[in-house]
């Protein structure tokens, strides 16, 4: 989808995995350990150890709002979006996990309990036909071509969608992921060209900061829903999307936007605009929130198997017991905290920095 041929093959050539994963552990005085992951690797670890740790170490684990607010205000001068918020997210998720384990409760109970017993799940995949066979309630596929490919690329996009619609049938929900690659005019053209093929939604067509562009698209396109939010950060970014009525659905990533503390604010704010929240696939960290809030109608599963034919953990070997969907549904185990266990035996864990305390 990139306009640069050198990086057009896939997102890893662009460097989407360059920083790697960061995992935070927080330990209570009684030995209870909470865990929280995000992206950011060693740069995020540096921020956490050298800066954010001072607002957490020695604090009462119940003071989640206080710790979040202090971390956010302290890092605001160098990171209102992106890496610093990823670091805060990982710390916040670990704190929630430790607190819930201390209370011997699953996270969703701390958010207000269940609003549903099971979660319907759709698949983001290269093979919507296999997603249908596996029982998912819908599928989302990547858009292959973009504005740099001209009119020929647009025609090829339409042809690809037409073929998939013929294969999966007229009624199976099909959405399209555009990964910040289009323009306003191109998106309008694409939406019009795809009208015969019953598209459920177009996702993340524009740069995440182009709020006026999103509002324009919403005023021009009615043949399908419009969604975004995977690369949005904190309640302030989502407030822009909601107040301007930019999209039909918002899609925060719980491990990126600021953790559970900020995610629950966003979900509550969205409910005032009757806007559903379908988080970007962050597995168990999304599932607890979706169980707890009525305006979270379904979950995303990222099909990570090479041939898109098997259901495998989103986080790979990070956890020993990551819950997986089956037949298009997710049943969340009734375990304390997030309910997942860090796979210490198979991981090559590395702690590159230590905080001031050296702990």
358 pLDDT band, cuts 50/70/90, is low
Domain at 119-330: CATH code: 3.20.20.120
pLDDT of residue 348: 87
Annotated catalytic sites, by residue? Answer: 280
Which regions of the chain carry the CATH code 3.30.390.10? 13-104
341-344 long-range contacts, CB within 8 A, separation 24+: 342/23, 342/25, 342/35, 342/318, 343/317, 343/318, 343/319
Considering Cα of 63, then 65, then 70, then 72, what sign does the dihedral take? positive
pLDDT of residue 4: 83
3 pLDDT band, cuts 50/70/90, is confident
Helix (H, G, I), strand (E, B) or coil at 227: strand
Is 3.30.390.10 the CATH classification of the domain at 13-104? yes
Which regions of the chain carry the CATH code 3.20.20.120? 119-330
Of residues 3 and 334, more confidently modeled: 334
* Tens of pLDDT, residues 235-255: 999 999 999 999 999 999 999
pLDDT of residue 7: 83
42-46 long-range contacts, CB within 8 A, separation 24+: 42/352, 42/353, 43/19, 43/83, 44/19, 44/83, 44/86, 44/87, 44/90, 45/351, 45/352, 45/353, 46/352, 46/353
Q: Is pLDDT above 70 for 295?
A: yes
Q: Is pLDDT above 70 for 359?
A: no
* Tens of pLDDT, residues 35-52: 999 999 999 999 999 999
The mean-pLDDT minimum among 9-13, 99-103, 300-304, 324-328 falls in 9-13
Let me know how long the chain is: 359
Q: How far apart are CA 208 and CA 89, in angstroms?
A: 19
Three-state SS string across 60-81, please?
CCCCHHHHHHHHHHHHCCCCCC
Residue 238, CA distances (Å) to 9, 12, 96, 123, 167 in order? 31, 27, 22, 24, 36
Helix (H, G, I), strand (E, B) or coil at 130: helix
Contact 258, 72 (CB under 8 A): yes
């Amino acid at each position: 989808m990139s306009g640069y041929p050198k990086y057009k093959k896939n997102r890893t050539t662009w460097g989407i995995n360059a920083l790697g994963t960061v995992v935070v552990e927080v330990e209570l005085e009684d030995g209870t350990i909470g865990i929280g992951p995000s992206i950011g690797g060693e740069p995020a670890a540096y921020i956490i150890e050298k800066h954010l740790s001072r607002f957490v170490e020695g604090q009462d684990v119940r003071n989640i709002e206080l710790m979040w607010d202090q971390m956010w205000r302290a890092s605001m001068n160098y990171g209102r979006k992106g890496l610093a918020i990823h670091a805060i997210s990982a710390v916040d998720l670990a704190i929630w996990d430790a607190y819930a384990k201390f209370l011997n409760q699953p996270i969703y109970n701390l958010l207000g309990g269940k609003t549903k017993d099971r979660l319907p799940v759709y698949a983001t995949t290269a093979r919507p036909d296999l997603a249908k066979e596996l029982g998912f309630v819908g599928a989302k596929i990547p858009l292959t071509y973009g504005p740099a490919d001209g009119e020929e690329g647009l025609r090829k996009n339409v042809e690809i969608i037409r073929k998939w619609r013929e294969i999966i049938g007229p009624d199976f929900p099909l959405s399209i992921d555009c990964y910040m690659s289009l323009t306003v005019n191109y998106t309008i053209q694409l939406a019009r060209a795809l009208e015969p093929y019953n598209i459920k939604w177009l996702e993340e067509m524009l740069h995440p900061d182009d709020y006026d562009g999103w509002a324009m698209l919403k005023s021009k396109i009615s043949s399908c829903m419009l969604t975004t939010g995977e690369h949005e950060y904190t309640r302030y970014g989502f407030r822009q999307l909601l107040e301007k009525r930019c999209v039909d659905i918002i899609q925060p990533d719980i491990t990126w936007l600021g953790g559970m503390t900020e995610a629950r604010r966003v979900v509550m704010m969205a409910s005032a605009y009757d806007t559903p929240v379908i988080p970007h696939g962050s597995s168990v960290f999304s599932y607890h929130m979706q169980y707890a809030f009525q305006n979270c109608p379904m979950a995303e599963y990222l099909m990570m198997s090479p041939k898109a034919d098997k259901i495998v953990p989103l986080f790979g070997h990070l956890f020993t017991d990551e819950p997986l969907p089956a037949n298009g549904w997710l049943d969340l185990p009734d375990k304390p905290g997030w309910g997942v266990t860090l796979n210490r035996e198979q991981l090559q864990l590395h702690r590159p920095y230590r905080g001031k305390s050296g702990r």
